[in-house]
Amino acid sequence: MLADTYGRIATDLRVSLTDRCNLRCAYCMPAEGLDWLPKPELLTDDEVVRLIRIGVERLGIREIRFTGGEPLLRRGLAGIVARTAGLRPRPEMSITTNGIGLARTARALREAGLDRINVSLDTLRPEAFQELARRDRLPEVLDGMAAAAAAGLVPVKVNSVLMRGVNDGEARDLLRFCLAHGYELRFIEQMPLDAQHGWRRANMITAEEILAALSEEFVLKPDEPDERGSAPAETFLVDGGPARVGVIGSVTRPFCAACDRVRLTADGQIRNCLFAREESDLRGPMRAGASDGELAGLWRRAVAAKLPGHGINDPTFLQPDRPMSAIGG
Ligand code: SAM
Ligand code: SF4
């Protein structure tokens, strides 16, 4: 098991498959992009699958989420999914993607064994998409979502980040759109993880503001009010259900005490928290010939050192050196 000293067990592995991206979302990356990791530093497909296998067979990992950067840019993605589906016990597999290219790949990913998908969609207005993601590609995202649903990757989950002055007036439009298409919407509070360190608390649209905006049009009833479990989203039944909407208040309503996640970066570092300031290298030892047992031991030690919380609300908080796109959101 991957246990820490606060009684939490990590069972959910987030695997970043690349730090590259074809969008430049303002809350994530600067307009000019970043210095991408050099290819030799990236784990190969075989190395990724070996570490996932160690996690599943030896360390109690039960869920795998592929992310990035943009995971659909990883050429070997369908193969990695298929090989992960062959592990026992078979983990649940999902992908978080910006949806570009999904129209072409959704079916192949489903056939490879992918169970679920999260598509990030912050706006339904092309001008706002251009401003927020700095690319004019909204139609491809919408087509990708439809293709995912048609391929049976249901329910398609949608992640939205609201930014003051850009898309903060769209909470209700996004929910209406998702309800109409059978997508499950979750809003995420903007976190201080952008490469350009532009996050300001005052500019963050809080969970409370989002819920207030939605409540002007919809009746929201807390779903499972006493049991948030390890799922970070607080979910609400919309207009009596069965449709739901979620709000992830990572900053104002932290869920660290129930966190069951651990992360593997595209260059083979274990991070025990999104906000960790230290990481543990598995790539070096693996390339130097470490056995599965030795790698599992390093991984266990990395998780054991997990801190109780992310500390965003402490005066001494320091943003991690790696931005979200290189950690794997
Ligand atoms: N490129 C894929 C995508 O956009 O879905 C996967 C990687 S992206 C880093 C994963 C998720 O993190 C997306 O839903 C994105 O909206 C979210 N995200 C990125 N930067 C964020 C930030 N500063 N605060 C909150 N969420 C953020
Ligand atoms: Fe790319 Fe996802 Fe970051 Fe947007 S949030 S720039 S799509 S990695």
pLDDT computed for residue 321 by the predictor: 80
Strand ranges (E), the chain: 12-16, 63-67, 92-97, 116-120, 157-160, 184-188, 220-222, 234-238, 244-248, 261-264, 269-271, 280-281
Q: Is 70 in the pocket of ligand 2 (CB under 6 A)?
A: yes
Considering only CA atoms, which of 247, 133, 121 is closest in space to residue 174? 121
Q: Is pLDDT at 194 greater than 90 in this prediction?
A: no
Considering only CA atoms, which of 155, 83, 56, 75 is closest in space to residue 115? 155
| Comparison of pLDDT for 286 and 203, the residue scoring more | 286
pLDDT computed for residue 12 by the predictor: 97
pLDDT band at 229 (very low <50, low <70, confident <90, very high): low
Considering only CA atoms, which of 18, 51, 23 is closest in space to residue 37? 18
What's the pLDDT tens digit per position in 106-153? 999 999 999 999 999 999 999 999 999 999 999 999 999 999 999 999
CA 143 to chain CA mean position, Å? 21
**Least confident span in 17-26, 298-307, 320-329:** 320-329
pLDDT computed for residue 303 by the predictor: 97
pLDDT computed for residue 326 by the predictor: 81
Tell me which H or E stretch contains 326.
Answer: helix 324-327
pLDDT band at 213 (very low <50, low <70, confident <90, very high): very high
pLDDT computed for residue 318 by the predictor: 81
Q: State which ligand 2 atom lies nearest to the alpha carbon of 29.
A: 6
Cα angle vertex 18, ends 320, 253, to 5°? 40
Q: State which ligand 2 atom lies nearest to the alpha carbon of 21.
A: 1
> What domains can you pick out in the chain, each with its CATH number?
12-327 (3.20.20.70)
Please report, rounded to a whole number, the percentage of residues in the chain having pLDDT higher than 70: 98
**Least confident span in 71-85, 91-105, 133-147, 247-261:** 247-261
**Residue listed under structure tokens 């599992």:** 296
Considering only CA atoms, which of 98, 53, 41 is closest in space to residue 73? 98
- Calpha distance 2→260 (Å, rounded): 9
CA 287 to chain CA mean position, Å? 27
Please report, rounded to a whole number, the percentage of residues in the chain having pLDDT higher than 90: 84
Q: Is pLDDT at 65 greater than 90 in this prediction?
A: yes
What's the pLDDT tens digit per position in 149-173? 999 999 999 999 999 999 999 999 9
- Calpha distance 80→52 (Å, rounded): 10
Do residues 238 and 247 lie in contact, with contact meaning Cβ atoms separated by under 8 Å?
no
What's the pLDDT tens digit per position in 261-288? 999 999 999 999 998 989 999 999 999 9
Annotate 167-177 with b (16+ C-beta within 10 A) or e (fewer): beebbeebbeb
The alpha carbon of 70 and the centre of ligand 2 are apart by a number of angstroms equal to 7
Do residues 293 and 42 lie in contact, with contact meaning Cβ atoms separated by under 8 Å?
no
> Residue 106: CB partners within 8 Å, gap ≥ 6?
117, 144, 147, 148, 150, 151, 153
What's the pLDDT tens digit per position in 48-58? 999 999 999 99
pLDDT computed for residue 317 by the predictor: 84
pLDDT band at 214 (very low <50, low <70, confident <90, very high): very high
Q: Is pLDDT at 232 greater than 80 in this prediction?
A: no
Q: Is 69 in the pocket of ligand 2 (CB under 6 A)?
A: yes
Q: Is 272 in the pocket of ligand 1 (CB under 6 A)?
A: no
pLDDT computed for residue 316 by the predictor: 79
Q: Is 28 in the pocket of ligand 2 (CB under 6 A)?
A: yes
The alpha carbon of 292 and the centre of ligand 1 are apart by a number of angstroms equal to 31
DSSP 4-51: -TTS-B--EEEEE--S--S---TTTS-TT---PPPGGGSPPHHHHHHH
Q: Is 144 in the pocket of ligand 1 (CB under 6 A)?
A: no
